[in-house]
A = this chain, B = another copy of it.
Amino acid sequence: MKDNLDSEKLKELEPVFYPRSIAVVGASPNEWKMGSQWLRGLHAVGFKGRLYGVNPSGGEVFGFKIYPNLRLVPGPVDLVIVCIPRESVLDLLDDCAAKKIKAIEFFTAGFRETGEPEWIEVEEEMVRRARRGGFRIIGPNCIGVSCPEHGIPYGPSMLLGEPGSVGYISQSGGHAGKTLEIGSTRGITFSKVASMGNGCDLGSAEFLEYLAVDPKTDIIGLYLEGPQDSRRLFDTIRVASGSKPIVVWKGGRTEAGARAAASHTGALAASASVWSGALKQAGAIEVQGLEELADTLLLFQKVGQLSRSNVGIICGLTDGGGGEAVLTGDTCAVLGVAVPPLTEKTSRRLLDLLGQVGSILCNPVDISQRSGNTQALQRTMELLAAEPQIDIIAVYENADILTKFLGKELAEAMNGIVIDFSHKQTKPVVVVLPPGSLEMERLETECRLAEAGIPVYPSMERAARAIANVTRYFRCRAKSEGV
């Protein structure tokens, strides 16, 4: 029974994420028009279905014929992408019904979010016509969907990473885009992205229902301002969070934010604490911003199961590890991430390995007295990972002095040790790589580590928050499963 419902849900939104053909209404012979750019993006990144341009102007763009009207497109159209002024959308919807399309997404804005009764009414009429026509609406006032596996990039940006396990639903097209941009550097990969804007028809709840049963999605991120379907949403979160982590960032929690959200997606203000309480009860992990959302999705994706957050920290890959040890110890403790003391046996072994003077032989460990010694780094990682009370290893790395004092080659060798160790998968590894003066070298290191599958954070604070979030999820899940 449940399997039937699941496959029905998958089937229902299949034309949204896996359309066989797309028509871009608003593409024009002017290459710089948004619609033209959209068409170009779909073609350039390798969308595998048929593509059409539609515009009363007719003509051609990027080698695509532009049809004066949707009804004149020769083949069937599953998905329509709309970049035209709001005045023309109702007529277009009649064409859509005649063409028997499956779904339509509106980049076009200027409806409920304006607060003008006339345009709120138009938005409502859009939903009625879609119902009658038997198709679904994404948006309006959105960037629509992306499905890397099917060659659908995010909007006209041509942003399309490798397919991955994170599904992402966002009321803000900008935030979804930025999360994808961040992901492309840090190694977060996505199964599906849906920017839903005003969400007049397909809302956060329905997208979540889809992602909850989508076999390609293991982790779900949500950015919400004021969804119109919050009861259904919380019901879905409650069910889905039992099998997939759901990370939620609620925008518009303050007066200043809510004022912007009302203008942005027509969201109604709601009490932040009521939201937090409901999210917690439903089993979602609430985060407080875009960075924490990305940080948490990254750790879920790379590290997977992590039920306890006891961290073993290594500082001082070259000089300066003492202050780093204090900083990382304080930061973790304040955020509820334990930095457990080491067993006496391990401390003794560290003493043999690192020496007393200038070292810190408890946790965090300062290995700076063996600056540039790859074996000492490897041995310290092994010793920490062998401690039963440690669940995850954090390496705190200062790219500036690492490169300046050790030179590029040895700095790379040190990172090679971290990568090799992480591939052994005895315990998960994260790297903290704060910005400084040698930003090029830091960026190169970050990309190399990210490509090797290691989650990299710009500060201990952000790593610790992600660790706390991920373990909170698995702890709650174990509890509710009665484990």
Contacts and interface: CB of A to CB of B under 8 A. Distances in A.
B252 A326 contact: yes
Interface stretch (A14-22, A300-308, A315-323): A315-323
A68 interface: no
A309 interface: no
B358 A322 contact: no
A177 B399 CA distance: 12
Contacts of A438: 181
A116 B361 CA distance: 14
A174 B323 contact: yes
B322 A263 contact: yes
Interface in A278-318: 288-291, 316
19 contacts: A86-B357, A178-B320, A178-B323, A178-B434, A178-B436, A182-B436, A182-B437, A184-B437, A251-B327, A254-B333, A256-B329, A256-B339, A260-B360, A260-B362, A263-B361, A263-B366, A264-B323, A289-B459, A291-B461
Contacts of A439: 185, 439, 443
A225 interface: yes
A247 to B, nearest CB: 16
A110 interface: yes
Residues of A in contact with B, size category: 35 or more
Contacts of A265: 322
Contacts of A375: none
A380 interface: no
Given A265-B322, A356-B110, A364-B260, A254 B330 contact: yes
Interface string A376-407: 00000000000000000000001011001100
A410 to B, nearest CB: 12
A56 interface: no
Contacts of A370: none
Given A170-B323, A175-B320, A256-B329, 18 more contacts: A110-B358, A172-B320, A174-B321, A178-B320, A182-B437, A253-B334, A254-B329, A256-B363, A257-B326, A257-B330, A260-B362, A260-B364, A264-B323, A264-B366, A289-B327, A291-B461, A439-B443, A440-B443
Interface in A314-355: 316, 319-334, 338-339, 341
A333 B256 contact: yes
Interface centre among A184, A330, A338 (most CB of B within 10 A): A330
Given A256-B363, A339-B256, A357 B110 contact: yes
A114 interface: yes
Given A110-B358, A289-B331, A172 B323 contact: yes
A157 interface: yes
A103 B366 CA distance: 29
Contacts of A436: 178, 181-182, 185
A26 interface: no
A481 interface: no
A134 interface: no
Nearest to A259: B362
B184 A322 contact: no
B324 A174 contact: yes
Interface string A152-177: 00000101000000000011111101
A339 B364 CA distance: 40
B360 A322 contact: no
Interface in A101-134: 109-110, 114, 116
